[in-house]
Amino acid sequence: MNEEDLLGSKWNYIYSQTKTEPAQAADVLIENAHLLPETGTALDLACGLGGNAIFLAQQGLAVTAWDISSIAIEWVLAYAKREGLNINACQHNITRLSLPKCSYNIIAVSRFLDRTLSDAIIDALKPGGLLFYQTFTVEKIGRVGPTNPAFLLERNEILRLFSPLAVIFYRENSLCGNLQKGIRNEMQFIGQNID
């Protein structure tokens, strides 16, 4: 079994153990929905159970959703069909070559990190397109999210990874102030392709 098959099997097992209701969209997307265009195309990258895809389709966008888990994709497709949502979901091992250039008004990424994709994600945005990104950071409270540093952002790292984009919104509370309040464990970023 190759690495892609092992990863797909891992996530198929995880999703086969989860409840069958939609995941919630990322907070950065929900709280900044006023920035979304009225029409256009969107990509939910590493969509899982489709929280971002469902939210974006409910806002009127034509959504593509990719994930390595066939179980997650089957669930998203069934939910989209049942609810009449414009979501084209497919099982996909996401690589730099799989992202078509200048194709999306919106790209949403949550709780997924592959640093090798940053340039391809930028290139996949149409002029004026927005990237909504929310994922785990190294500076986190407790054992929330992954422990492998390969899947955790260093402080301000997202700003370097997506430096060609204009920063529309950025929040990374880290371990400052009252640790019982505010968004902890994850950073939020919105960047715009101004080319």
Domain extent listing, the chain: 3-192
Amino acid 3: pLDDT: 65
Q: What is the pTM of this model?
A: 0.90
How big, in percent rounded to 5, are the helix, strand and coil portions of the chain? Answer: 35, 25, 40
Q: Which fold has domain 3-192?
A: Rossmann fold (3.40.50)
Structure letter (DSSP) for residue 46 = T
Can you give the pLDDT of all 195 residues of the chain as single tens digits? 566 666 667 665 666 677 667 789 999 999 999 999 999 999 999 999 999 999 999 999 999 999 999 899 999 999 999 999 999 999 988 899 899 999 999 999 999 999 999 999 999 999 999 999 999 998 777 777 777 888 888 999 999 999 999 999 999 886 666 656 657 689 999 999 997
pLDDT of residue 45: 97
Give the per-residue pLDDT at 43: 98
Buried b / exposed e across 126-160, counting CB within 10 Å, b at 16+?
beebbbbbbbbbebbeeeeeeeeeeebbeeebbbe
